[in-house]
Structure 1
């Protein structure tokens, strides 16, 4: 008998790279049933995990022990299999109100506060995926 495709695998995959595992769980809850959210707590494994999971978007913390978000962004950009994946910073370093002041400070990647409203988070992921806005 043939196996049916896994409907979870058909959803866009969001890879959350953060040294705090609860952040990935929180993001999964906030993005709801429309996305498949996977977490990686070891930033050094981000490229491998992005490749293995066939990530469609990467949300990455900036301030992590051992490897910064900038280091992860660079590593992602250097691997042909992951270089085209949209990359967004997700940080607790700034509040949602401060994000516009930091535009471009963390590089070319869009920056979101971990405290951003769920609607803004969903909008940013949708924009990165090229989805039309409702």
Structure 2
């Protein structure tokens, strides 16, 4: 008998890069129904894990020890296998009710607050993935 495809693998993958493991767990619990969330605490592994997991979008913290978010974005941009993956900065530098006023500060990547609502996270991920608004 043939094995059926894994339904988890059919979901779009979201890679969360944050030095705080709790952030990855929180996002996975909020988005796991619709997305396959892979959390990573070591930003130095971002390129390797991106090549392995082939995420549709990456949520990346800006302020991390050892490797900042803009350094992660640069490293990903240098590898043809990861350069086209949309990256969204995930930050505590803005509150959930504040509009992210970081346009151009860290490149041309969109920014979302770590305290954003589940709906806002879903919307920014859906936009980055090019999904219709009703996803």
TM range (shorter): over 0.9
Q: Tell me how large the CA RMSD over aligned residues is.
A: 1.2
Partner of 1:43: 43
Q: In 2, distance between residues paired with 1:104 and 1:120?
A: 21
Partner of 1:61: 61
Q: In 2, distance between residues paired with 1:30 and 1:62?
A: 21
Partner of 2:98: 98
Deviation >4 Å, runs of 4+: none
How far has the Cα of 1:31 moved from its partner? Answer: 1.5
Aligned length: 134
Gaps of 5+ in 2: none
| Equivalence map 1:71-82=2 (5 Å) | 71-82=71-82
Q: In 2, distance between residues paired with 1:97 and 1:63?
A: 20
Partner of 1:70: 70
Q: Which has the higher helix share?
A: 1
Gaps of 5+ in 1: none
Q: Secondary structure at the match of 1:2?
A: coil
What TM-score does the superposition give when structure 1 sets the normalisation length? Answer: 0.95
| Equivalence map 1:1-134=2 (5 Å) | 1-134=1-134
Q: In 2, distance between residues paired with 1:120 and 1:72?
A: 23
Q: In 1, distance between residues paired with 2:24 and 2:87?
A: 15
What TM-score does the superposition give when structure 2 sets the normalisation length? Answer: 0.94
Q: Secondary structure at the match of 1:90?
A: strand
Deviations along 1:43-95, one digit per CA (max 9) or x if unpaired, are 00001101111111000000000000000000111111111101000011211
Confirm or deny: 8 A CA contact 2:100 2:112 kept in the other structure.
no
